Amino acid sequence: MSSKYRMPVSEFIQESKAGSINYTDFYSKLFEKIRETDKKHNLFITLSEKEAKADTKKIQKGALTALPVSVKDNICTKGIRTTAGSKILDNYIPPFDATCIEKTKKEGGIIIGKTAQDEFGFGTFSVNCAYETPKNPLDPLRSCGGSSGGAAGITAALDMPHIALAESTGGSISCPASFCGVAGLTPTYGRVSRQGLIDYASSLDKIGIMAKKTSDISLMLGIIAGRDKREATSLDASVPDYTKVGADIKGMKIGIPKEYFSDEIDKKIKKQVLDTISKLEGLGAKTGECSLPNTEYAVSAYYIIAMTEASTNLAKFCGQRYGACEPLEGDFNQYYSHVRGKYFGEEAKRRVLLGTYARMAGYRDQYYLRAMKVRQLIIDDYKRAFKKFDVLAAPTMPFVAPKFTEIEKLKPVDHYNADILTVPANLAGIPMISVPCGKKDEMPVGIHMMADHLGEENVLKAGMAVEGLNL
């Protein structure tokens, strides 16, 4: 059906700029493929076929000229429903675009729809989506990962050129990228503006990118990165030309954190990752062991911080100005409880309750502020490591994509503990990329490359080098 359009992103953009792409035919075939895939795998919450086809009538020539771009459903898109995976925002249609969407459109990107996710980003397996649970296109009995499950799933499933915009708070890009066998970049906190992102945890949220190849991520990162005067946490730092980053890692120093290869990690995954690192040595990289001693406290600190900030951010969805509403009955507390009880999912309620408790008078110092001190210790660990190494390499996830029957047996704390390898780097706000490095039980294994703040060039270079191994 779409064989003539099975081309890399770079080739599509080149052909598009040359006027060699029939957009009517291309987008008809693209959406036909998406609808066919979506019936089996539930990767989108909202498709924007009508809007996309209208946009092809007024193509903006630029770095992305007519390239299809999917968007995680917690990033605001003007005129396209944006739910953050929650029924409380079921009918929300933003009147504006997030900054990253504005930049994407300016360079000619075409928004094709909003991908499935855990509600507000609350999850590791995308089973907390208020809509259909996305299924891994490599095995529909397994999870895509979370919370950006739909973004990774459609990136893996589509055999046509495409880039996905996603978002990570504690591992929501790296995890699904690993499970679905695609590349996923989480940039430095503040490297990409959060303006127009529906918040989960404000001090942790980062908009990033998924694609089949790291080079495609390099292209998109250069477009969406940069200072945004409308968003206070965006960094005022120059943006390199990431498209010039190559795969030459000769002389690169790669650290191997011993805490990330513990007994909790599947043995075959550890071997796969260590074998990959050994092959990178063959390309001229230098390796050595390092220690991140505060890793053991990362999950506990992360969930206290994330839940506390989530309970604050979700307070506005009370049935008055924001979110779903009901006929006004009872006093305010009764009304708010009714609306939030009806439209929030179970995991959202759990996190709001735990987060509210942790920020109550008398407990804030004991929990939230103490967790923030642990966060600083974790940052200090990384800073010491990056004095010796350019990047750190580790497994992305402790296991391959689990089956839904396995996930059903897990307790909430088991879901949280699954993030042991992605949470520390997200707490520190450093850039990271997951790229495939082989398989276990016919499912992808991801290798995680992490660098110091604003070290995106190093992780991109390392990612390309791994892809060059053709594992």
Active-site residues: which are they?
A: 72, 147, 172
Task: Determine contact, residues 116/134, Cβ cutoff 8 Å.
Answer: yes
Structure tokens at 93: 């249609």
Per residue, what are the HEC states of the chain? CCHHHCCCHHHHHHHHHCCCCCHHHHHHHHHHHHHHHHHHHCCEEEECHHHHHHHHHHCCCCCCCCCEEEEECCECECCECCCCCCHHHCCCCCCCCCHHHHHHHHCCCEEEEEECCCHHHCCCCCCCCCCCCCECCCCCCEECCCCCHHHHHHHHHCCCCCEEEEEECCCCCHHHHHHHCCEEEECCCCCECCCCECCCCCCCCEEEEEECCHHHHHHHHHHHECCCCCCCCCCCCCCCCHHHCCCCCCCCEEEEEHHHHCCCCCHHHHHHHHHHHHHHHCCCCEEEEECCHHHHHHHHHHHHHHHHHHHHHHHHCCCCCCCCCCCCCCCHHHHHHHHHHHHCCHHHHHHHHHHHHHCCCCCCHHHHHHHHHHHHHHHHHHHHHHCCCCEEEEECCCCCCCEHHHHCCCCHHHHHHCCCCCHHHHHHCCCEEEEEEEEECCEEEEEEEEECCCCHHHHHHHHHHHHHCCC
d(CA 286, CA 303): 35
User: Bridge partners of 185?
Assistant: 209, 433
Q: What letter represents residue 166's amino acid?
A: A
Sheet holding 286-290, edge to edge: 44-47, 110-115, 68-72, 163-168, 206-211, 183-186, 432-440, 443-451, 391-395, 253-257, 286-290
Task: Determine contact, residues 264/403, Cβ cutoff 8 Å.
Answer: no
d(CA 192, CA 222): 10
Among the listed residues 345, 393, 406, 401, the one whose alpha carbon sits nearest the alpha carbon of residue 149: 401
